Structure 1
Amino acid sequence: MKLFDLTLRNVRRNFRLYTIYLVSMIIGVIIHFTFSALMFNPDILDMVKNRGNFQNGIRIASVVVFVFIIVFILYANSFFMRQRQREFGLYLLLGLSERQITWMVFYETLILSGISLSAGILLGGFLSKLFGMLLMKLMQYEETVSFSFPLQAIGTTVALFLLLSVIIAVQSHIAIRRVQLVELFHAGETAEKPIRSSPVLALLAVLLLGEAVFVLSRGMNSALWREHATVCMILTAVGVLGGTYLFFRQFSGWILGVISRRRRYYEGNTMLWTSSLRFQVRGNTSNLTFITLAGAAIILLTCFVVVNYRVQFDAVRMNVPNGIAFEYPGERASAAIRSTIEASEHPVKDYRRLELIRTQAVTDRSVAFENPQYYEEPVLLMAARDYNSLVAWRGDDERVQLRGEEAVSLSQGTDLARTYPPEAQPEFVVGAASRTTLRLAEMKDYALLGWATIPGHSMEKKPAVIVISDGAFEQARQAGEAVMLELYQIRDPEHAEDLSAEVYRLAGEGARPGWYYSSYADVYSIQIESSSLLLFAAAFLALIAVFALASVVYFRQLKVAAEEARQYAVLRKLGVDNRRIRSAIRKQLVFIFAPPLILAVVFSWLVIRYYMLESLQDFPDLPGIVLVILGIYGLVYLFFYLSSASLYYRIVNQR
């Protein structure tokens, strides 16, 4: 019989054993092809406004996803190879060389890759339409996406998975060469030694976790974090890292020891599931610690991306409050712009013309504006009456009352708005030849004028605006340079990119260098597309990562099941029925799956609750969104738990 014939026979006879491995590869092909198909889908490329950024984002996301797929499949293959060590030992005993066995494994991998590529590309082509429509929905586009099997996507997917087949063959060859023949026949018969647990270290684990929870629950606005931020970060890191490791290394072993010393230990099935777990503590410590910390990081990343997408719509409105705003270009150009807007699909809803005074800051601008590098150099002074009128026109509760030298800076985006008492108002000096001293009464988180934009390039910088009293404005008008701005509110500003480009062209003809222009559409299209793509890619990445993490526990428990099959066979001969065995397996796996899930959820929720949602109280729906994400994370673990319990029982029941 030829080697390739033996390979085909193995695949046919052991197809059930190959199922887990094959499913892993098919999922990997589906995910990678879906991403690649989106990158080359002509319908999607025609819809997005920033094709280059979109393709680069998808390309980066697909690379990251493929790295996770490689790790996931290689881990599955290592489990698969351990399950077949006895088989390889028999081949060596019958006279096959290591080189022949390696080629046989390579042929098997090629056959499985061929099946995976065929099924994965077919399913990925259909799913790419579904996910493409989902992505367009996130980007607020209503156009449909057709089925697509781009040749570029097929080519890259086939090439990458052929490369993965070579990597798998190398991994398999190394695994075969590192194990001796006698060890192959005794594979799975060596048990881990239980560790000696210390009550002191078990208590230390609880104290460290409690300390981390206490520090995190104080919140970033607490006196503890404001005055001792560095110490708090160190305490949190030590508590989370050290506490988690000791929890799985010492506390779990100690609690199992306590259970084993109970009077009723030998009643029911307690002895069945605890005795096995005591031998797994050493091997589980590193895995469960990593899974817990990585799981918390994945939840945080997912929640951050989802929250970013949710607030992006309101953030664009707050950053760019006007549909179109520009520096007055003269009566003739202004009339042409008005006619162009009225003739478009975005007629004028409201219009305002503002007068401001352009001046230069003498005082360091950080006194009035947080992160002054994001603001334009000139400072624009505005009369309180005009400001209050505009605020009332918008329906915002942001009015001011100023007297004499009092002023309010519009530092939109500041982390913490400030109001200064009369005796502690900082001075802010503006002007060149004739200087004006202002007393800052408030630093307000409000945008009167949006970020300056250039069509196709998103945001540039924010205008630095200070509201002053009417009397101070009249004095500044005599010495400063008057600037007229035109503000338009238009219908459906989200999709006015073409109109924005035309208005920008008309307003810019003959304009001075550094003239002001701002358009809601220019920011909206790029920001929403970017946040939608980030959400889409992060959701895929998080889902794959969660599956990979849960699979680490899943495959390890299947390995334990294979090693303990003989012990369960003995127990069955001694009269232990299937009901008690099944119950013992479920309790044993709860002890493995539940702690990483609970700790990851607790850590991530504390960070999200006190360091993310605390500063976003204007969005009451965010806690519900976060709870949905936590629920999905828990459902993935529940799926793996139930699957592990079912397969574990089948493995130990085979004998």
Structure 2
Amino acid sequence: MSLLGLTLKNVRRNFGLYTIYAVSMVIGMMIFFSFASVMYNGDILDALENRQNFQTGFAIASFVIVLFIVLFILYANSFFVRQRKKELGLYMLYGMNERHVLLMLMYETLMIGVVSLAIGGLLGGLLSKIFGSLLMNLMQYDRVISLSYPVQAILATVAVFAIVTAAACVQSYLLLTRVQLIDLFRARERTEKPIASSAPLAILAVALLGSAIAIIGGGKQTVFWTDYAAASMIYCAIGIIGGTYLFFRQFAGWVLQKLSRGKGYFEGNTVLWTSAIRFQIRGNTMNLSFISLFSTVLILLMCFVSINYAVQFEAVGRNLPNDVAYESKSDAVDAEVKSEIEASGHAITGRHALELLCADAVSDAGAAFDNPAYFFPGLLLVSAAEYNAIVKDRHDEGQQVRLEGNQAVSLSQGMDFPEALPGGGIDFTVRAKSDKTFRLIEKKDYALLGWASDPVLSMVKKPAMLIISDAAFGELRGNAAAANYLIYDIADAGNAEALSKRLHAIVTKDPEAYYSSFADVYSKQIEGSSLLLFASAFLALIALFALASVIYFKQLREATEARQQYAILRQLGVDKREMMSVIRKQLLFVFALPLLPGLVNSWLIIKTYILDSVQDFPNLKGMVWGIIAVYFLIYAGFYLASTTIYYRIANRAA
């Protein structure tokens, strides 16, 4: 019989095992093709304002997804080859050499791969329409996405298929050449030895994890992060990674050892499920550590990108609160700007003329403005009445101020936390022809004018503004240089990129003139955050499949190897209900133990270093808990599916 004929016979004989491998290949090809189809879809590209950034971001994400797919398929291929080692050993015993066996495996991989490529491509094309529509909804673009199979996506998927096939063949070759013939027959007869646990190492595991969690949970205002940030970061990384490994390698074994010496060890079925775990803990250490750390990273990734997306819509408005704002230096420019807006189709819904006074800071600017390097040199002074009028028009009455005498408030836009200065404030001196000292009573995280913007460069810098009392403004008005600004509210400001380019060209004929437009940043920020969320969701999807494969194949292998033990239990009178109870408890220990550290670590990091910095967005905490809940439910689904599969395989021995 030829090798090709033998390959076809193997596929028919081991159809169930081949199906598992084929499903892994189909999922990998389907996910990548749907992602690549979105990247090259003409309808999506036509809708974007920043096409080049979109394709660059997708190309980077595609590379990461390919890595996940390769690792995912290699894990499945490793299980596939190891499950057939006895069969492959028989072929070699009957005279086939390693080259023939490898060619047979390569034929099998190609056959399964071609079928998987075709099915995955067809399904991926259908999914790409759904994912493309989802991406447009994330970007808030009203665009219908057509079903398409772009040539570039097909070629990219074929290239990924070639990479995956080559990697699987190399892996199969290494698995065959690194073992002796006798090892192929005894590969499924080896059993793990119970790990020797150590109380000091178990205590060290808890100490490492506990201290790392304590430092993280203490917050970024503690001395660890303010004075020793680099050392704290390194220690937390070592504590979490090393502590997690020792937690499963030593602490879990130590707990099981103590449990085996307890009075109730021989009551119920405790001895059955604990003894099985004690023999498997050595081989499961890396898997359990990987699952725990993987859960932390995956939850952090999805929470971060979701929070980033959720705050962008409001954050852009906070950074650039005006649809169009510019420094008015001539009546001719003002007339040209107004004429251009009226001709654009973006109706003018509001107009405000703002008179400010120019000054320079004599005191250290850092006392009034966080990160003063982000601000333009000099100061702009605004009266409390003028400021309150604009704030009222924006319906931000909570940001209004009441000032008397020499009191002042700085607009330090971009602070993590607004700051009311203690002790009645600090003295802050400005120079407007002559020096004037104000009592700075508050640093407010608010923008009256916002960042200067550029249609190409996006945000540039922002003006440093000081709110002063009306009396102080009237006193300085005759002695300080005045600067006039015009603010326009227009309809459909988020889609005014073309108008902003024309207005920017008019205003910046004087290169020192201030210009700011909401549209210059809105499309870039929304498209960028939507792309990040979309790509991260894809990465999370393929990562979850990778996690599922690790769990599934590990449990499938252990259940297959434990058939004989479960057959003996049945002969001793253990019924099906008791056996299912043993399996559930055994797998619950394996599943729940790595999940808890992952959830705790991810929540503490998100709460301390993200949520506490965006307290003005109260809905974010619920969104984070929602993501954690979804992950928990998916993980619980893995647990229930694994118990069913494990029981079915074990019951087959009866």
**What TM-score comes out, normalization by structure 2 length?**
0.93
**Equivalent in the alignment of 2:546:** 548
Quote how far apart the aligned CAs of 1:462 are.
1.3
Q: Within 5 A, what are the aligned runs for 1:298-377?
A: 298-377=298-377
Aligned to 1:91: 91
Answer yes or no: is 1:590 the counterpart of 2:588.
yes
Which deviates the most, 491-500 or 154-163?
Answer: 491-500
Distance in 2, matches of 1:399 and 1:550, equals 54
For structure 1, which segment, 611-620 or 417-426, has the greater mean C-alpha deviation from structure 2 after superposition? Answer: 417-426
Q: Distance in 1 between matches of 2:94 and 2:46?
A: 61
Aligned partner of 1:298: which letter? L
Alpha-carbon shift at residue 15 of structure 1 (Å): 2.1
Q: Residue 527 of structure 2 is aligned with which of 526, 529, 538?
A: 529
Question: What's 1:293 paired with?
Answer: 293
Separation in structure 2 between the aligned mates of residue 180 and residue 187 of structure 1, nearest angstrom: 10
- Report if the CA contact (8 A) 2:416-2:614 is conserved: no
| Shift, 1:628, TM fit | 1.6
Which residues in structure 2 correspond to 1:236-275 (within 5 Å)?
A: 236-237=236-237, 239-275=239-275
Q: Which deviates further from its counterpart, 543-552 or 446-455?
A: 543-552
Percent identity between the aligned chains? 53
Contact 1:428-1:440 within 8 A present in 2 as well: no
The C-alpha deviation readout for 1:27-76, integer Å capped at 9, x for no partner, is: 11111111111111011011111111111111111111111111111111
Partner of 2:164: 164
- Residue number in structure 1 paired with 2:633: 635
Structure-2 separation of matches of 1:506 and 1:512: 9
Shift of 1:321: 0.8
- Where does residue 413 of structure 1 map in the other structure? 414
Describe the superposition over 1:220-267 as per-residue Cα deviations: whole angstroms up to 9, x where unpaired.
456886677678657655653444233212222122223323444344
Contact 1:33-1:157 at 8 Å conserved across structures: yes
Looking at structure 2, the residues matched to 232 and 36 of structure 1 have their Cα atoms a distance apart, in angstroms, of 40
Bigger mean CA deviation after superposition, 322-331 or 434-443: 434-443
In the TM superposition, residue 473 of structure 1 has moved relative to its aligned partner by 3.5
> Take 2:102 and 2:237, find their aligned partners in 1: how far apart are those partners?
45
CA spacing shift, 1:421–1:169, aligned 2, 3 Å: closer
| Contact 1:321/1:520 (<8 A) preserved | yes
Q: Aligned ranges for residues 80-159 of structure 1 at < 5 Å?
A: 80-159=80-159
Matches within 5 A, 1:451-466: 451-466=451-466
Gap runs ≥5 in structure 2: none
Q: Does 1:573 align with 2:571?
A: yes
Residue 213 of structure 1, CA deviation: 4.3
Quick check: 1:280 aligned with 2:284? no
1:430–1:25 Cα change, 3 Å: farther
Which residue in the other structure is 1:61 paired with? 61
Structure 1 match to 2:174: 174
Deviation per CA, 1:117-161: give whole Å up to 9, x if none. 101110110100000000110001121111010001000110121
Distance across 1 between alignment mates of 2:273 and 2:481: 82
Q: In structure 2, what is the equivalent of residue 557 of structure 1?
A: 555
Aligned to 2:399: 398
RMSD of the TM alignment (CA)? 2.4
In structure 1, the partner of 2:389 is 389
Of the structure 1 ranges 487-496 and 169-178, higher mean CA displacement relative to structure 2 is found in 487-496
The Cα shift of 1:207 comes to: 4.7
Count of aligned residue pairs for this structure pair: 652
SS of the residue corresponding to residue 78 of structure 1 reads: helix
Distance 1:86 1:519 in 2: 70
Contact 2:429 2:435 in 1 (8 A): no
Q: After alignment, is 210-219 or 165-174 more displaced?
A: 210-219
Please show how residues 417-566 of structure 1 align to structure 2 within 5 Å.
Answer: 417-421=418-422, 425-430=426-431, 434-474=434-474, 476-508=476-508, 511-566=509-564
Would you say the 8 A contact 1:74–1:168 is kept in 2? yes
Using a 3 Å threshold, how does the CA distance of structure 1 residues 423 and 228 change in structure 2: closer, same or farther?
Answer: farther
Deviation at 1:429, TM superposition (A): 3.7
Equivalent residue number for residue 30 of structure 1: 30
1:357 deviation in Å?
Answer: 2.8
Shift of 1:88: 1.0
**Structure 1 letter corresponding to 2:489:** Q
Change (3 A) 1:468 1:102: same
Note if contact 2:77-2:168 (Cα within 8 Å) is conserved in structure 1.
yes
Matched residue of 1:448: which SS? coil
One-letter amino acid of the counterpart of residue 22, structure 1: A
How far the C-alpha of 1:208 sits from its partner, in A, is: 4.5
* Equivalent-residue separation in structure 2 for 1:358 and 1:24 (angstroms): 66
Q: Unmatched 5+ residue regions in structure 1?
A: none
Residue 8 of structure 1 aligns with which residue?
8
Segment drifting more, 471-480 vs 50-59: 471-480
Instruction: Give secondary structure in 1 for the equivalent of 2:401.
Output: coil
Q: Do 2:427 and 2:437's aligned partners in 1 also have CA atoms closer than 8 Å?
A: no
